[in-house]
Amino acid sequence: MTRELHVAVVGATGAVGQQMIKTLQERNLPIGKLTLLSSARSAGKKVTYNGEEIIIQEAKPESFEGVDIALFSAGGSISKALAPEAVKRGAIVVDNTSAFRMDENVPLVVPEVNEEALKAHNGIIANPNCSTIQMVAALQPLREKYGLSKVIVSTYQAVSGAGAAAINELKEQAQAILDEKEFTPEILPVGGDKKHYQIAFNAIPQIDKFQDNGFTFEEMKMINETKKIMSMPELPVAATCVRLPVVTGHSESVYIEIENNDATVADVKKLLADAPGIVLQDDPENQVYPMPADCVGKREVFVGRIRKDLDHENGFHMWIVSDNLLKGAAWNSVQIAESLIKLGLVK
Amino acid sequence: MTRELHVAVVGATGAVGQQMIKTLQERNLPIGKLTLLSSARSAGKKVTYNGEEIIIQEAKPESFEGVDIALFSAGGSISKALAPEAVKRGAIVVDNTSAFRMDENVPLVVPEVNEEALKAHNGIIANPNCSTIQMVAALQPLREKYGLSKVIVSTYQAVSGAGAAAINELKEQAQAILDEKEFTPEILPVGGDKKHYQIAFNAIPQIDKFQDNGFTFEEMKMINETKKIMSMPELPVAATCVRLPVVTGHSESVYIEIENNDATVADVKKLLADAPGIVLQDDPENQVYPMPADCVGKREVFVGRIRKDLDHENGFHMWIVSDNLLKGAAWNSVQIAESLIKLGLVK
């Protein structure tokens, strides 16, 4: 494909939107025109893209005239209102919100896992939740080779997943605590929930709001999206999601059971070392393992601490880390755009 | 028992030693004399106990003459050298290091779980690892009522478990990062290991050194000590231990399988609400759950986020938080001393 594309980014001033623009610049998509959209409040701001100044415009239905691919990351209500308008005008939407993820007519895609699902799209493609993406990217090679029968994950999630304001809150609180000054939590764990708690030097076992079953929405996203992306509706998946005083980089302690009795730790390491999008960092003797501070700005998913369970012969433990703004959001969205082009799905 | 006791604290200037002195003051042990001991380096410092000034002395074999109960928390090599000397002189030693924990002649005690094991002591009683204590305290009521067949834990551990110098390292690093200044990690994850990593705004999946099987010593402590304290050598236990930028308060995401098919979340909540040493903090609708920032200075173990697994009918998830310097160390040691007195084991 040689035609130059018209790409739009909706939510261009947000933590993820900024990473989308940066990632588009780093990659080699054939972009002829880039339209940057936002709420009315942020419209008028200027962004430099490939040396050219682009003025951010307010996102409206008619903003999508002539757009080939629109990357949305401006919150679920914006996506619900404007994604169908973009599709109506001929754009393919890659949506980073949870608005359409569980819609059975919308493919939920991590290219390393289910790129082929893109072929069945109806205009909207959903980008999964950040914590889900990095986990399924690491589990897919294991599932393909050994089968997968159980997943239990406990997450260690960064505040940038809650947006730029949450990053500021963490930094300001940390400074206040170091200075032994008073402070009032205002955003975390969930901007729209009733109570707010200290995040600096703390760990909050709540991400997104609670459901009636005692799990949070974030936990249910990990459970349901994993089953959908992997096309394994019966796979037992359990999640406990925890917010940490980390700016960027989600970590996950993952226990899995596979269907093969013979796989060794060395086999699993070799498999992951060779898998697309995965970097193996696993050398305990030399204290090599993934950490959030090391993953920032990188597109890969880092896996380490791979151990065989001491009791269950099919059980393995691992530690999965990735930049939640990149593979967890902006990069996976841009990667979906690249897959759409590669598969000839952009007309 | 009305006789006044002579109690010694070994490691009186350390993070745990200071909490031991504070806890002894808060509780009502019949202490006639308190001897505070340390390395030669810290000897000569003064501590105020119940309005009286006590000069810290260098710990030597003869320091234990006339001592009834000696609380050790000055590192494994001090315990190995001096605990037998204290016993020889008639003291009962409660040792907070890992020196004797897996010795089959040494009871490893969490009073809520296995107080009776104290009766078989041979002079030394071991205080378990901090992360183990809070977990078994919460699991014991469930095991008693429902049976217990599997435990998988991922920890979120505070730096104070690595001593006072690690607390300073976290605070200084956090300030350096906020000021965008350079810094050199020198202590964490493990003072005596080869490499040191950033802990502020990071998560390090290593606590204590690595074993040949890929697990860390901290993880193996949780696994082996849990089996010993609960007298369940065959219980499948798996642990992943992670150090966080939290000063005090360990958190744990725990998955268990019980042997009973009928227990509901309400049953488990009721059981834990009524259990000794446990505080139930579990009201998702009102965002009530335990957090490390809330547990500091409290002796109890806090449990919340109790959920039934969505796939395994005998599976439950929970979130367990406690002050690692208190129930995880100083308070459990003092509590053992109280149990010894109550059981008439201090002659």
pLDDT digits (tens, 9 = 90+) for A258-270: 998 899 999 999 9
Q: Rounded to whole angstroms, what are the CA distances from A85 to A32, A64, A67, A78, A345?
A: 22, 8, 11, 11, 19
- Which residue of A178, A203, A255 is in closest CB contact with B238? A255
Give the DSSP H/E element, type plus range, for residue A222: helix A217-229
Q: Are A155 and A237 in contact (CB under 8 A)?
A: no
pLDDT the model gives residue A235 = 98
Instruction: Give me the residue label for tokens 């070392």.
Output: A273
Residues of chain A with pLDDT > 90: what percent? Answer: 97
Residue B247's CB is within 10 A of a number of other CB atoms, namely 19
Q: Which residues of B are catalytic?
A: 130, 250
Instruction: Look at residue A279 and tell me whether its pLDDT is greater than 60.
Output: yes
Q: How confident is the model over A292-310, as a mean pLDDT?
A: 98
A171 contacts B174? CB cut-off 8 A: no
What residues of chain B lie within 8 A of the CB of A152, using their CB? Answer: 152, 255
Q: How confident is the model at residue B347 (pLDDT cuts 50, 70, 90)?
A: confident
Among residues B335, B271, B344, the alpha carbon closest in space to that of B114 is found at B335
Q: Which residues of A are catalytic?
A: 130, 250
| A157 annotated as belonging to a binding site for a ligand | yes
A310 contacts B197? CB cut-off 8 A: no
Architecture of domain B5-128+329-342: 3-Layer(aba) Sandwich (3.40)
Q: Name beta bridge partners: A151.
A: A237, A256
- CATH 3.30.360.10 residue ranges of chain A are 132-323
| B251 annotated as belonging to a binding site for a ligand | no
- Please tell me which residue of chain A has the smallest CA distance to B174: A174
Q: How confident is the model at residue A3 (pLDDT cuts 50, 70, 90)?
A: confident
Q: Just give the CATH number of A132-323.
A: 3.30.360.10
pLDDT digits (tens, 9 = 90+) for B253-269: 999 999 988 999 999 99
Of the CA atoms within 13 Å of residue A69, those in its CB half-sphere come to 28
B132-324 has which fold?
A: Dihydrodipicolinate Reductase; domain 2 (3.30.360)
Instruction: Look at residue B313 and tell me whether its pLDDT is greater than 90.
Output: yes
Q: What ipTM describes this predicted complex?
A: 0.97
Q: How confident is the model at residue A2 (pLDDT cuts 50, 70, 90)?
A: low
Q: Are A106 and A125 in contact (CB under 8 A)?
A: yes
Amino acid letter for position B176: A
Interface test with B, best of A201, A240, A317 (most B CBs within 10 A): A201
- CATH 3.40.50.720 residue ranges of chain B are 5-128+329-342
pLDDT digits (tens, 9 = 90+) for B132-147: 999 999 999 999 999 9
Q: Rounded to whole angstroms, what are the CA distances from B108 to A134, A211, A305, A336, B99?
A: 40, 40, 29, 55, 11
Give first-to-last CA distance, chain A, whole Å. 10
B310 contacts A156? CB cut-off 8 A: no
Residues 6+ apart with CB under 8 A from B206: A287, A289, B189, B190, B193, B216, B241, B243
From the CA atom positions of chain A, what is the Rg in Å?
A: 20
Structure tokens at A139: 């589990």
pLDDT the model gives residue B155 = 98
Of the CA atoms within 13 Å of residue A158, those in its CB half-sphere come to 31
pLDDT digits (tens, 9 = 90+) for B16-29: 999 999 999 999 79
pLDDT the model gives residue B59 = 97
Residue A186's CB is within 10 A of a number of other CB atoms, namely 12
pLDDT the model gives residue B1 = 47
pLDDT the model gives residue A28 = 78
pLDDT digits (tens, 9 = 90+) for A57-67: 999 999 999 99
pLDDT the model gives residue B28 = 78
What residues of chain B lie within 8 A of the CB of A150, using their CB? Answer: 311
pLDDT digits (tens, 9 = 90+) for B207-261: 999 999 999 999 999 999 999 999 999 999 999 999 999 999 999 999 999 998 8
Q: How confident is the model at residue A81 (pLDDT cuts 50, 70, 90)?
A: very high
- CATH 3.30.360.10 residue ranges of chain B are 132-324
B210 contacts A287? CB cut-off 8 A: yes
Give CA–CA dist A324/A337, Å, rounded.
18
pLDDT the model gives residue B2 = 58
Q: Rounded to whole angstroms, what are the CA distances from B107 to B49, B229, B252, B277?
A: 30, 8, 25, 20
Closest Cα of chain A to B95: distance in Å?
28
